[in-house]
């Protein structure tokens, strides 16, 4: 008799056509759990307390024992919202872009029992503060990315958007007679996972760039810095396809590939040198590809999710918060987000219901915040009344 799967509820902030991460998380957890997905954006016609009540009804009806909350970006899912969710269930926060949101995630996570992060460095930062945290790769599903044993007809492949320093690298490689096939997420040749998987299989080397612009994200506390180097899922899912990835340096990836399984470059010259090195010697390319592929299989869902489930099973319910008090900026930030998100969507009843709760029902640890919230709530309510007749109303 097969073992009955434990029921898990995963809460995402919103539906996004362009971002497939929700797809990968559902695939990933379906391997070990009976999974239900909820998008908070579908529930914004009511206030946070009612949303939590609806979720708690679902938890009871479907016998959910584990709830995961998305930590990426600002949403209604702050520490207060998570505390409204049935405390009989085990709670976790998950994030694939934690470096950008770590300063809020580390506070929100204190309402949870554990953390799952797509960044190994973030895992260490959480552990440093006393959290139970585990690295969780995102795009590591072998039913999507797999070795098709295709003939290698392309020397070098780059897929993705041309941003940050990518164009300069690609132009430099072409000037030095390196044949690079380029494609984006909307190109006919690569606009589905099946097509992209085939292209990766047909390529000897795939380029990965890790530089990420900070300056255009005003919310990002790192916005004073021009860029940072962040982990990309392609550094492990390319290996599932039987090809070799060559990556711009990233300290997170270095924590995963501890025995030089992933070749790194830090400049255009180093990138060119690595490509020439492997393309000029088939035996070296084959040896490096095999070593890299074997390592990447450790992150494949069917293997890694067993480790993840074991980690979660060993977690006990957290009794005491890891933080002493909520910072002023955190409470104000999420108060503002809770009403702004409804303001922008022109959710009339939900907006005023949430403003009322914020002014008269929610309890704030920072008492000096109350007059600010009152003034902000009144002003935003007046602005809503003024703009409402000219906006397309949400039903």
Per-residue model confidence (pLDDT) at position 394 = 44
Q: Is 0.75 topped by the overall pTM?
A: yes
Strands (E), 184-321: 203-208, 211-213, 227-229, 244-248, 264-265
* Average pLDDT rounded to a whole number, residues 361-380: 82
User: What is the reported pLDDT for 218?
Assistant: 56
Does residue 20 carry a pLDDT above 90? no
pLDDT at 1 over 50: no
Q: What is the DSSP letter of 342?
A: H
Cα dist. 256→248, 265, 284 in Å? 14, 16, 22
Lowest mean pLDDT among 16-20, 116-120, 352-356: 16-20
Q: Tell me: domain 6-141+305-313, CATH 3.20.20.70, correct?
A: no
CATH number of the 154-299 domain: 3.40.50.2000
246/289 Cα distance (integer angstroms): 10
Q: How many CB atoms neighbour CB 109 within 10 A?
A: 31
Q: Indicate if the pLDDT at residue 327 is higher than 50.
A: yes
Q: What is the pLDDT of residue 304?
A: 96
The greatest distance separating any two alpha carbons of the chain, rounded to the nearest whole angstrom, comes to: 71
Q: What is the mean pLDDT of the segment spanning 286-304?
A: 96
What residue segments make up the domains of the chain, in order of their start? 6-141+305-313, 154-299, 328-390
184: confidence class by pLDDT, cuts 50, 70, 90: confident
Q: How confident is the model at residue 380 (pLDDT cuts 50, 70, 90)?
A: confident
Reported as a pLDDT band with limits 50, 70 and 90, residue 18 is: low
Give the pLDDT confidence score for residue 204 in this predicted structure. 97
pLDDT of 46 higher than 70: yes
CA distance linking residue 309 with residue 315, whole number of Å: 10
How many other C-beta atoms are found inside a 10 Å radius of the C-beta of residue 300?
A: 19
CA distance 160 to 362: 44
- % the chain with pLDDT above 70: 93
State the Cα–Cα distance between residues 389 and 378, nearest whole angstrom.
18
């Amino acid at each position: 008799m097969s073992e009955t799967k434990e029921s898990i509820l995963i809460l995402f902030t919103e539906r996004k056509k362009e971002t497939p991460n929700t797809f990968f998380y559902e695939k990933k957890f379906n391997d070990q759990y009976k999974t239900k997905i909820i998008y908070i954006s579908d529930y914004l016609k009511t206030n946070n307390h009612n949303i939590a009540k609806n979720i708690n009804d679902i938890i009871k009806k479907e016998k959910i024992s584990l709830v995961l909350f998305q930590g990426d970006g600002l949403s209604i899912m702050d520490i207060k919202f998570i505390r409204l969710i049935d405390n009989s269930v085990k709670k976790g926060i998950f994030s694939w872009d934690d470096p950008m949101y770590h300063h809020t995630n580390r506070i929100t996570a204190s309402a949870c029992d554990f953390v799952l992060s797509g960044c190994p460095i973030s895992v260490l930062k959480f552990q440093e503060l006393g959290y139970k945290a585990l690295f969780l790769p995102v795009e590591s599903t072998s039913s999507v990315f797999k070795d098709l044993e295709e003939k290698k007809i392309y020397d070098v492949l780059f897929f993705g958007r041309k941003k940050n320093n990518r164009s300069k690298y690609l132009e430099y490689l072409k000037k030095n007679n390196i044949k690079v096939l380029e494609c984006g997420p909307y190109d006919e040749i690569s606009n589905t996972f099946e097509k992209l998987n085939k292209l990766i299989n047909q390529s000897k080397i795939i380029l990965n760039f890790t530089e990420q612009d900070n300056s255009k994200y005003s919310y990002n506390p790192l916005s004073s810095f021009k860029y940072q180097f962040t982990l990309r899922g392609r550094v492990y899912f390319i290996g599932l396809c039987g090809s070799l990835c060559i990556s711009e340096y990233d300290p997170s990836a270095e924590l995963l590939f501890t025995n030089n399984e992933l070749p790194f470059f830090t400049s255009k010259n180093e990138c060119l040198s690595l490509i020439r090195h492997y393309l000029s010697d088939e035996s070296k390319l084959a040896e490096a590809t095999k070593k890299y592929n074997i390592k990447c299989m450790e992150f494949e869902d069917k293997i890694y999710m067993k480790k993840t489930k074991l980690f979660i099973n060993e977690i006990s319910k957290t009794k005491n918060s890891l933080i002493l008090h909520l910072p002023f900026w955190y409470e104000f930030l999420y108060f503002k987000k809770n009403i702004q998100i409804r303001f922008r969507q022109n959710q009339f009843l939900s907006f005023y219901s949430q403003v009322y709760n914020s002014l008269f029902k929610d309890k704030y640890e920072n008492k000096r915040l109350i007059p600010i919230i009152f003034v902000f709530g009144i002003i935003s309510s007046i602005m809503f009344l003024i703009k409402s007749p000219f906006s397309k109303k949400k039903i």
